[in-house]
Amino acid sequence: MGIPFGVDLTYAVVTILPYGILEYTALVFSLACALNKTKLEIKMIKNRSFKNTINE
């Protein structure tokens, strides 16, 4: 399994694991931002005003 990396499996896991942690953290952050933006857009549609939504 570690042959494609040119080293043993332990080194491959240790070098790739931090990358995966950063990717999943970025994924969760972007999903939270997208949901927050969607919530604000729904409020804007209900209030029919951008200004009133921001002032709340």
Choice between 50 and 6, residue whose per-residue pLDDT is larger: 50
User: In the structure, what pLDDT confidence band is assigned to residue 3 with cuts at 50, 70 and 90?
Assistant: low
In whole angstroms, what is the distance from residue 7 CA to residue 12 CA?
Answer: 7
In whole angstroms, what is the distance from residue 32 CA to residue 45 CA?
Answer: 20
Residues 30-43, mean pLDDT to the nearest whole number? 94
Total domains in the chain come to 1
In whole angstroms, what is the distance from residue 16 CA to residue 30 CA?
Answer: 21
Range of the domain at 51: 3-55
Question: Which residue in this structure is represented by tokens 């491959």?
Answer: 12
pLDDT digits (tens, 9 = 90+) for 10-26: 777 787 888 888 899 99
pTM metric for this prediction: 0.61
Residues 32-46, mean pLDDT to the nearest whole number? 92
The DSSP 8-state label assigned to residue 4 in this structure reads G
Return the closest-CA partner of residue 40 out of 31, 32, 50.
Answer: 50
